[in-house]
Amino acid sequence: EVQLLESGGGLVQPGGSLRLSCAASGFTFSTYALQWVRQAPGKGLEWVSAINEGGEITKYTDSVKGRFTISRDNSKNTLYLQMNSLRTEDTAVYYCAKRMTTVTPGALHIWGQGTMVTVSS
């Protein structure tokens, strides 16, 4: 069974850092691009970041550029999101998601259960 399992969320003060992890199983991890999507409490979905299969190409939404870094370790089947200089507006459930295709543009067909990040003093 294809699965994604996020971890690393928690409570952090403004200006602090946190690293989220997403452990994958059930598919050839190194073959697929992956993404992070977040959802603030009571709000809609917001796309955050993407990384290609090999980890060389990364993309970010403007509000996290320069503060968040997406990376992956294909030997450990794990995706990461390093979050620095956290702001209260980064408070959200963070989901990792797998793109359904390997080459052409693809929708997100497998999602983790999410991990909550709360930025508050």
Partner 1 sequence: DIQMTQSPSTLSASVGDRVTITCRASQSISMWLAWYQQKPGKAPKLLIYKASTLESGVPSRFSGSGSGTELSLTISSLQPDDFATYYCQQYSSAPYTFGQGTKLEIK
- Among positions 66, 103, 105, 121, the unique one binding partner 1 when judged by CB under 8 A: 105
Strands (E), 8-57: 10-12, 18-25, 34-39, 45-51
Residue 1 touches partner 1, criterion: CB under 8 A: no
Residue closer to partner 1 by CB (options 75, 103) is 103
Q: How many residues would you count in the chain? A: 121
Asked if 34 and 99 count as a contact pair (C-beta separation under 8 A), the reply is yes
Q: How far is the CB of 44 from partner 1 (least distance, A)?
A: 4
- Two structure tokens written together for 34: 């992956």
Q: Enumerate residues 47-86 that contact partner 1 by CB under 8 A.
A: 47, 50, 59-62
In whole angstroms, the minimum distance from the beta carbon of 106 to partner 1 comes to 7
